[in-house]
Structure 1
Amino acid sequence: MDISFYSRFHAPLESAYLEEVLASGLETDGLFMKRLLDCADSLYPGCRFLFTPSCTLALETALACLRLLPGDEVLLPSFNFPSAANAVLRHGGRPVLCDITPDTQNISVRDASNRLTSRTRAVIAMHYAGVSAPLGGLKRLAEEAGIALIEDAAQCVDAYYEDQPLGTVGDMGCVSFHHTKNAVCGEGGLMITKNHGHWQYARQYRLHGTNRAGYLDGEAARYTWNLPGSCAALSEPQAALLLAQLQCLSQITRSRLHVTEQYWKQLAPLEERGIAMRMRIPAYARPNGHIFYLRFQDPALLNSLIPALAAHGIDCKTHYVPLHASPMGEKLGYHKEDLPESLACYQTLLRLPVHTALTDEDIARTTETILRFV
């Protein structure tokens, strides 16, 4: 494709950092991890962090901290990637899928509250497109029900709810550095918490269920196996690459926001004519330009537009099959008609290319091609 959907940012210091780390002993939690933790301190002040090989492992680590019992339930949106639901299943819980609101494609607080039971232990808020879910309402729901609030902030590095970084509002938050995200290290994740107990449990879970981190910090004479765990530590080469990326984060965000702002302006005729709705940004949200999407009124028009754009060398994509409408969702007892907003989103949403390599000419060519077609 002439205009690709994905293109990662290349940070100037990547090669130098990788050469430096390759000359080292490649020890886990080495020099570059220490520098990465210092960088995270500036992005997420007042929090504790654990970098992991993927956001999936960050979510699994967060769910481990809840110590679910068989039959415990966790609420999460159906319009979502499977990682959060898999994390619940992996720890013996039952994912309870909720519908979304059509303005932001984020979890509906009303629908989530209707699905609360005596077995509910947590609600997972996924912030779609780097746009905050309604965290005010979700925090009230969680506090009144006495359950945990976990943020699936996979798409949200440098995005905010009011003035708070996404991932820091709930009890725990998880961020992704997968190669499709804004800042990347191929794979990679981060678990964030302000809860000291969760952090202490998670840092043992991350290292095979042992107190090795405490041992290395001089807190114990030996380290031993204390709880069920996993191998969930980020490698030094990934840490080096991610550090170079995060040092350019403000530049990455500015560039991506420029793209999304141009799409918003240039595609206004679609909304004026009732053809498609442009993505919405609530007043409480400050996004990071991760995604720009349109919601078309007519699914048939969307389905014919995608190959037409491809014929012009422009790669645009739909997004998730809702979890409730998937084969696994059916095994959990759901039917396609159960969550209508999630299903409608799947049928009508189109994502446009957003990355730092796009030029203003690329943006104009994409928008003009869409407007001419419709």
Structure 2
Amino acid sequence: AKWHGKMCGEIADFTSFSFHAVKNLTTAEGGALTWRNHDGVDNESLYKQFQLLSLHGQNKDALAKTRLGAWEYDIVAPYYKCNMTDVMAGIGLAQLKRYPEMLYRRRQIIERYNEGLKGCDVQVLNHFGDDHSSSGHLYLVRLLGEDVEYRNAVIERMAECGIACNVHYKPLPMMTAYKNLGFDIVDYPNAYNQYHNEITLPLHTSLTDEDVEYVISNFVDIIPK
């Protein structure tokens, strides 16, 4: 994704990327973190700190421990186990080689959806413009003037046609764990407004042109004109 000529990983101080199985680029599980250069910040030291956090606080990685006589390591703090395996990284490298063609296919599908939904009483997420370009991960549609019950009914109707739709996302204050912590969705009206009539249409590179037309045809038949 780009914004005002910058790649998304160079805009914020820190940017996290998910490589979960349903993402544009996957390693089956895992992710990555990027950060910008800042005066007074030692990038190498920061990198080593993230390494410690990701693998039990070990001060040596697996490669360092394979060197002759270098078996010993220390645990400098009781940290986490969230490192990416070499196998996962290998999958990611293979995915990178085909990533441009996957992005191109996603853009084709998005543009066809945009054309197919013209004239419908919906609002879609704008993926592409003069100053921005999306990675095309999700195709979000808002059913204007409708509520949660109607949106859920549309999802059920689409499912009856063999089309799996989704919602992105249900706000955290509506989840039990956060309710138990005292969060109340009434305090987050914008989050609720982004959620209550949103529906996500299928968007992945295994969709054929015929699949896309089938989704559009059924969706247009189900929603109000």
TM-score normalised by L of structure 1 = 0.52
| Paired residue type of 2:110 | T
Residue 201 (str. 1) matches residue 201 (str. 2):
no
Q: Which residue of 1 aligns with 2:18?
A: 176
Map 1:12-161 → 2, pairs under 5 A: 159-161=1-3
Whichever of the two has the greater Rg, that structure is 2
Q: CA deviation at 1:349?
A: 0.5
In 2, the alpha carbon distance for the partners of 1:285 and 1:324 equals 30
What's 1:305 paired with? 154
- Give the alignment partner of residue 324 of structure 1, picking from 168, 173, 178: 173
User: Quick one: distance in 2 between partners of 1:231 and 1:329?
Assistant: 25
* Counterpart in the other structure of 1:245: 95
Question: 1:276 aligned to 2:122?
Answer: yes
Which residues of structure 2 form unaligned runs of 5+? 38-42
Structure 2 counterpart of 1:350:
199
Q: 1:192 to 1:214 in 2, by over 3 A?
A: farther
1:211 alignment partner in structure 2: 59
SS in structure 1 at match of 2:10: coil
TM superposition shift of 1:215: 8.8
* Residue pair 1:162, 1:286 contacting (<8 A) in 2 also: no
For 1:56, the equivalent position in structure 2 comes to none
**CA distance 1:215–1:366, shift in 2 (3 Å):** closer
Contact 2:30 / 2:83 at 8 angstroms: preserved in 1? no
**Does structure 1 conserve the Cα–Cα contact (< 8 Å) formed by 2:57 and 2:75?**
yes
Residue deviations 1:28-53 (CA, integer Å, cap 9, x gap): xxxxxxxxxxxxxxxxxxxxxxxxxx
Q: Secondary structure at the match of 2:140?
A: strand
How far did 1:214 drift? 11
| 1:283 Cα deviation after fit | 5.1
CA distance in 2 between counterparts of 1:243 and 1:347 reads 38
**Mapped partners of 1:344, 1:214: distance in 2:** 48
Rate the CA distance shift 1:202–1:366 in 2: closer, same or farther, 3 A: same
Q: Distance in 1 between matches of 2:35 and 2:54?
A: 14
- Partner residue, 2:134: 287
Residues 277 and 216 (structure 1), Cα distance of their counterparts in 2 relative to 1, 3 Å cut = same
Give the superposition deviation at 1:213: 4.1
Residues 237 and 200 (structure 1), Cα distance of their counterparts in 2 relative to 1, 3 Å cut: closer
1:262 matched to 2:117: no
TM-superposition CA deviations, 1:87-106 (whole Å, max 9, x none): xxxxxxxxxxxxxxxxxxxx
Work out the CA distance in 1 between the residues paired with 2:86 and 2:48.
Answer: 22
| One-letter amino acid of the counterpart of residue 294, structure 1 | V
Give, in whole Å, the separation in 1 of the partners of 2:197 and 2:21.
25
- CA 1:189–1:215 in 2, change beyond 3 Å: closer, same or farther? closer
Change (3 A) 1:214 1:201: farther
User: What letter matches 2:99 in structure 1?
Assistant: L
Q: How many residues align?
A: 210
Bigger relative contact order, structure 1 or 2 (CA pairs below 8 A, ≥6 apart): 1
Q: 1:208 to 1:194 in 2, by over 3 A?
A: farther
Q: Counterpart of 2:47 in structure 1: which amino acid?
A: W
CA contact (8 A) 1:204 1:229 kept: yes
Q: Quickly say closer, same or farther: Cα 1:200–1:235, change in 2 above 3 A.
A: closer
Divergent runs of 4+, >4 A: none
Across the aligned residues of Structure 1 and Structure 2, the Cα RMSD in angstroms comes to 2.3
The whole-number CA distance in structure 2 between the counterparts of 1:215 and 1:306 is 49
1:240 and 1:343, CA in 2 relative to 1: closer, same or farther beyond 3 A? same
Distance 1:215 1:188 in 2: 20
5+ residue gaps, structure 1, are 1-158
Q: Does 1:366 align with 2:208?
A: no
CA gap of 1:211–1:194, structure 2 versus 1, over 3 A, is farther
1:212 is paired with a residue whose SS is coil
Contact 1:193 1:199 in 2 (8 A): no
Identity of aligned residues (%): 26
